[in-house]
Amino acid sequence: MSMPRHLVSGFHPLQQAEAGTAANVHDKASEIDPGDELVPHVTHDPDSGLPWPDPTAPEPDFITLAGYLFEAAAEATDGCLVAPAFICRHGHPSWLLRLGVI
Ligand SMILES: [Zn+2]
């Protein structure tokens, strides 16, 4: 099954923070540990702008998310199994969509 990439490539965050003033940016080396970072949830469908329901299933860890991409099948936020870029019949997006991975 081929994925309709055009459906997911035009993602735009609905709420973009105002660009900070460049004068306040310090050049410092910071180590980024994805395991400790809190991933902000995407709470609205980027295409329709409609809000997604709150997750009813526990958030999967990073390794599980990577597995979803590899397997081309993902768990939705209510536990349904869906294609990675899709929303289940109950209106819950895959965790990959919810967490802005794709
Ligand atoms: Zn569902």
Domain of 87 in residue numbering reads as: 38-102
CA–CA distance, 52 with 49 (Å, rounded to integer)? 9
Non-local (6+) Cβ contacts of 65 within 8 A are 95, 96, 99, 101
Q: 3-class SS at 24?
A: helix
C-alpha 10 to ligand 1 mean position (Å): 24
Joined together, the tokens standing for residue 71 give 């397997």
pTM of the model: 0.64
Question: What is the predicted pLDDT for the residue at 71?
Answer: 95
Are residues 92 and 85 in contact, defined by beta-carbon separation less than 8 angstroms? no
Question: What is the predicted pLDDT for the residue at 44?
Answer: 96
Number of domains forming the structure of the chain:
1
Question: What is the predicted pLDDT for the residue at 67?
Answer: 97
Instruction: Please check whether residue 2 lies inside any domain of the structure.
Output: no
CA–CA distance, 78 with 10 (Å, rounded to integer)? 25
Instruction: Please check whether residue 54 lies inside any domain of the structure.
Output: yes
Instruction: Please check whether residue 9 lies inside any domain of the structure.
Output: no
C-alpha 23 to ligand 1 mean position (Å): 47
Give 14's DSSP letter. Answer: S
C-alpha 27 to ligand 1 mean position (Å): 45
Question: What is the predicted pLDDT for the residue at 99?
Answer: 95
C-alpha 5 to ligand 1 mean position (Å): 22
Instruction: Please check whether residue 97 lies inside any domain of the structure.
Output: yes
Question: What is the predicted pLDDT for the residue at 17?
Answer: 45
Question: What is the predicted pLDDT for the residue at 38?
Answer: 74
Instruction: Please check whether residue 60 lies inside any domain of the structure.
Output: yes
CA 6 to chain centre: 16
Instruction: Please check whether residue 32 lies inside any domain of the structure.
Output: no
Question: What is the predicted pLDDT for the residue at 39?
Answer: 79
- Listed as ranges, residues in the chain with pLDDT below 70 are 1-37
